[in-house]
Structure 1
Amino acid sequence: MLSNIRICDLQTNISKHPYRTPMKFGGRVVSGVDVLEVRCTVETKSGRRAEGLGSMTMGNAWSWPSQVVSSDQTLAAIETLAQRHAAAALEAKVEGHPLEICHTLAKLLRPIAAEVTQEAGLDEAMPQLACLLAASPLEAALFDAQGKALGTSSYRLLGKDYVDSDLQPYLGNDFAGRYLDEFVSPQPQASMPIYHLVGALDPLTDADVDQAVGDGHPETLAAWIEADGLTHLKIKLAGDDLDWDIDRVARVSRVASESSRGAKTDWRFSLDFNERCANQQYVIDMLQGVAKVSDDANGRIQYVEQPTHRDLARFPENTMHEVTKMLPVVIDESLVDLESLHLSRELGYSGIALKACKGHAEALLMGAAAQHYKLFLCVQDLTCIGANFLHSASLAAHIPTVAAIEGNGRQYCPAGNEGWEKKFPGMFEITDGTVETGLLNGPGLGY
């Protein structure tokens, strides 16, 4: 096809960004992030050339929470894999649609990752989630470059006129004769609510502030609600401290009700346990406990995220059938391929979290599968900043049934948005709890 591309050049770069305040999740505290950027030049069959940009925060604490290897070692290994995988992509001389190229290049990840960990003398194999993270900037750059070369949105290049194969090779027989354009909107939603993260260390009111940051940004949840007009709150919970979790949800709900937006606002909460719950009974006990101390908190919960261990095959007893009778439960860390999606459904999960940090191709495919199997869908980020936040937002804005997006980079690392907020002010200057995703309508991935 004339729209097929080949890689002509690739460049990678790593930049470091400290957080303005530490973030705690899953028992871990993170104080900064590295961003790996890929610039990829491609050429189409018709001879058109363009450069695509892909970047992602290298969240090793999330993708490789090792008890054996140090955080510095896991970060270094992921970044080395990303750079070597990009170099291998250039050498492979693969041609085709970005979806097909990404599928081919994904087969190189495990062998290269094994080389990286062996050379570094690490006593643990790199998890599949970390491998997906390492490849994600390149995937974004490929899709972005194809769209720019053809002068249109990458989300308009997903039908049979542009892709050589239907979805059967990627998603199985249920998708024979079907293409991604059936599951992806060609135009982004005009605006979407943004989920604001309430980290485990984040102060809710002035009484919780031990030492002010003093950088001009809001210091508390109450202040963020007033400044940004928030309506959607993602609450990080302990998962192993029932009383604390119950109190935290109730207190967040109280702060929301006492804000200028008031109790009549259609508040939406998501609860993120980051795999710390022993079983589904903990979630049920927590929800029942919240109901006893708060009249309105449970009615505001939109979904629960990844309550128990990410290794579903290792812990098949961790089912979610009872919780999903109450509200949607989505997998995040567990979702690494089609097999894990099917296993999660067997275990009672009723939704999935899409993330650009797992790869653009993977996100599109899982978004299609979720819609086909009528699963709850949300899009979350990895404290994305700048270009990678815009990429995550564009993904959310083009996937039907996604009602809101997550964007906590502005809270923890606003300096990482410098320059981008002037190009897309409606994505960073928030006053009514929404972001103007309709701005992400340029060629490529929209940014």
Structure 2
Amino acid sequence: MTTWPRLPTRRAVLRAAGAALPLASIARAAQAPAVRASRPTDIRVVDVMHAFEGHTYRAPYMFGGRSVDRVTILNVQVRVRTGDGKEAFGFGSMTLGNAWAFPKASQDEGLGAMTALAEAFRAITAACDDQGHPIDLWRVLEPAYLQEAAALGPRRGLAMPIPKLCTLVVASAFDAAIHDAYGKAFGLSSYATYSSRHMRHDLSRDLGPAFAGQYLDRHVAVAPRAETPVFHSVGASDAIEPSDLKVRLDDGLPNTLAEWIARDGLTHFKIKLNGGNEAQDFDRITRIDRVVREAMTARRIADWHYLLDFNEGCPNVGYLLTLLRKVREFTPDGFARIKYVEQPTSRDLAGDRANVMHEASKLLPVVVDEGLVDIESLHLARAMGYTGVALKACKGQSQALLIAAAAQQAGMFLCVQDLTCPGASLIHSAGIAARVPGNAGIEANARQFVPSASAAWEPRFPGLFTVRNGVMRTGQLTGPGLGAVPPGPRLA
């Protein structure tokens, strides 16, 4: 249950954020000029609230050698005012996936840092006096968020800096709430506000001169596609067959991969691999291929697909190449069904330059995920042979759309992944997946591991939280803003 705290006055926010405000001012001066003159299509932030809710997983989810069994969700509500005086509320939500975003910290350290960042980001966001489109505000807020994160680590006695990815995950709920409020202020889907009619600047401001005269509406559709294929995540410890079960959960949901296929009519599968043990990874891929093949033969389905996600687990690119070639030799048809490989080696691209993906990309698209935190890292990934990008709502609506535009223009492979996103965060993620041209599909694993977190949302979005025939019904995501209105009462 979400409990919204009472919001202090703007004056109190400005006093409380005294330490953060100079950082925001410095960031504005260095990164983007402040916007003071108002247009009718501009907004400014008036109020900001945030709250947390917690849920326990029905079963642990293992990825990249880490096991997760609970989630803390950050919910953010903002009130904005347009240039001609209209006001609107916006809502954003995101899983604080510290095990993924801050893996070198302990559970308590990582989650504690992220909740502390949320407190600080609320004050910074509330104190922002700039006006414009949500992407204008993101240009001002992101540097301030990053500076606050750099200062927060030492204050909390952390042994390592707070990663940029961790900062983006926390900031994404605030960014989503601002985009949501902007659309609602004008009675439009947020995706109808990415043209020159609403945006102050074209994409050259963020992506360089090659994008002069282009706006996001050239790269992101206003209308969502009716259905989007769902990649079912097979966690590294998930039961593939009944013999893998240690304890059967009697909660009405499937327990094995074959049971999930039968219930949801699955056709797309995300295979989580730990890396570091070639025989083990090979066995897992080929076992899953066998179980899926048997299920598809019984259903008379000829078209299905896999993706391989190592979460940085491969010790080097040679490991990946050997494994892929072995799979191709053993099951040529199974190999042909692999659509792409996701983040096989370290997210630290600059520190891992030896592990280039040029040879691997000749076999399959290789997608950058954890290593993709800004436009500069996109350029570096391309130089290292990565040929695709994983777009994620948890890195921010603004960044996801800008990277989608840059990746499309570069001819890169596109997919949308989640962070075990339930409720409003899945609606947000699905909205991106349904509008980016060429997107291969969406991961949506909260329905597998933490369905309780979506229970209040599910009746209002039939077919979004429950998959049928392997697809999510995304055509319904046409409401104002990003489409997520909390089921409970709004704090006015």
Length-normalised TM-score, structure 2:
0.89
- C-alpha distance in 1 between matches for 2:473 and 2:375: 32
Question: Secondary structure of 2:340's partner?
Answer: strand
1:112 counterpart residue number: 148
2:423 is equivalent to residue 383 of structure 1: no
2:111 is equivalent to residue 83 of structure 1: no
Deviations 1:23-50, CA, capped at 9 Å, x for gaps: 1111111111100000011111122211
Contact 2:221–2:435 (Cα < 8 Å) also in 1: yes
Contact 2:95–2:425 (Cα < 8 Å) also in 1: yes
Question: Secondary structure of 2:440's partner?
Answer: coil
2:434 counterpart residue number: 397
- C-alpha distance in 1 between matches for 2:168 and 2:121: 11
1:413 corresponds to which of 410, 429, 450: 450
- C-alpha distance in 2 between matches for 1:369 and 1:278: 29
Contact 1:231–1:265 (Cα < 8 Å) also in 2: no
2:478 is equivalent to residue 423 of structure 1: no
2:79 corresponds to which of 41, 65, 81: 41
Question: Secondary structure of 2:347's partner?
Answer: coil
- Taking a change above 3 Å as real, the CA distance of residues 260 and 400 of structure 1, as seen in their structure-2 partners, is closer
2:68 is equivalent to residue 30 of structure 1: yes
2:92 is equivalent to residue 54 of structure 1: yes
Deviations 1:224-269, CA, capped at 9 Å, x for gaps: 0000000000000121110111111111111111115547421110
2:175 is equivalent to residue 139 of structure 1: yes
Deviation at 1:213, TM superposition (A): 1.4
2:218 is equivalent to residue 182 of structure 1: yes
- Greater shift after overlay, 404-413 or 165-174? 165-174
2:389 counterpart residue number: 352
Deviations 1:145-187, CA, capped at 9 Å, x for gaps: 0101100111010111111111112111211221111101010
Question: Secondary structure of 1:203's partner?
Answer: coil
- Greater shift after overlay, 252-261 or 371-380? 252-261
Taking only the aligned residue pairs, the percentage that are identical comes to: 46
- C-alpha distance in 2 between matches for 1:168 and 1:146: 22
- C-alpha distance in 2 between matches for 1:86 and 1:209: 44
Contact 1:226–1:260 (Cα < 8 Å) also in 2: no
Question: Secondary structure of 2:464's partner?
Answer: helix
Deviation at 1:431, TM superposition (A): 2.0
Contact 1:229–1:261 (Cα < 8 Å) also in 2: no
Question: Secondary structure of 2:326's partner?
Answer: helix
Question: Secondary structure of 1:322's partner?
Answer: helix
1:213 counterpart residue number: 249
Deviation at 1:83, TM superposition (A): 2.1
Contact 2:248–2:255 (Cα < 8 Å) also in 1: yes
- C-alpha distance in 2 between matches for 1:83 and 1:268: 42
- C-alpha distance in 1 between matches for 2:296 and 2:206: 48
Deviations 1:50-105, CA, capped at 9 Å, x for gaps: 11110000001111111xx3221111111211221121111122211001101110
2:35 counterpart residue number: none
2:365 is equivalent to residue 328 of structure 1: yes
Contact 2:447–2:466 (Cα < 8 Å) also in 1: no
Contact 1:247–1:290 (Cα < 8 Å) also in 2: no
- Taking a change above 3 Å as real, the CA distance of residues 75 and 264 of structure 1, as seen in their structure-2 partners, is same
Deviation at 1:293, TM superposition (A): 3.1
2:46 is equivalent to residue 3 of structure 1: no
- Greater shift after overlay, 74-83 or 287-296? 287-296
1:372 counterpart residue number: 409
- C-alpha distance in 2 between matches for 1:238 and 1:200: 7
After TM superposition, list the pairs within 5 Å mapping 1:138-287 onto structure 2: 138-259=174-295, 262=298, 264-287=301-324
Length-normalised TM-score, structure 1:
0.98
- C-alpha distance in 2 between matches for 1:351 and 1:94: 34
- C-alpha distance in 2 between matches for 1:164 and 1:53: 23
- C-alpha distance in 2 between matches for 1:186 and 1:73: 40
**Deviation >6 Å, runs of 4+:** none
After TM superposition, list the pairs within 5 Å mapping 1:310-325 onto structure 2: 310-325=347-362
Give the aligned residue type for 1:212: R
Question: Secondary structure of 1:269's partner?
Answer: strand
Q: How many residues align?
A: 445
Give the aligned residue type for 2:148: I
- Taking a change above 3 Å as real, the CA distance of residues 90 and 296 of structure 1, as seen in their structure-2 partners, is same
2:148 is equivalent to residue 121 of structure 1: no
Give the aligned residue type for 1:137: A
2:330 corresponds to which of 272, 276, 293: 293
Give the aligned residue type for 2:475: G
Q: Structure 2: which 5+ residue stretches go unaligned?
A: 1-38, 485-492
- C-alpha distance in 2 between matches for 1:44 and 1:146: 8
Contact 2:146–2:167 (Cα < 8 Å) also in 1: yes
Question: Secondary structure of 1:19's partner?
Answer: strand
Give the aligned residue type for 1:349: Y
Contact 1:16–1:33 (Cα < 8 Å) also in 2: yes
Deviation at 1:295, TM superposition (A): 4.3
Give the aligned residue type for 2:482: L
Cα RMSD of the aligned pairs, angstroms, is 1.1
Deviation at 1:291, TM superposition (A): 2.6
- C-alpha distance in 2 between matches for 1:26 and 1:429: 26
Contact 1:328–1:350 (Cα < 8 Å) also in 2: yes
Question: Secondary structure of 2:390's partner?
Answer: strand
- C-alpha distance in 1 between matches for 2:214 and 2:333: 43
Deviation at 1:279, TM superposition (A): 1.9
- C-alpha distance in 2 between matches for 1:170 and 1:22: 39
- Greater shift after overlay, 288-297 or 86-95? 288-297
- Taking a change above 3 Å as real, the CA distance of residues 174 and 291 of structure 1, as seen in their structure-2 partners, is same
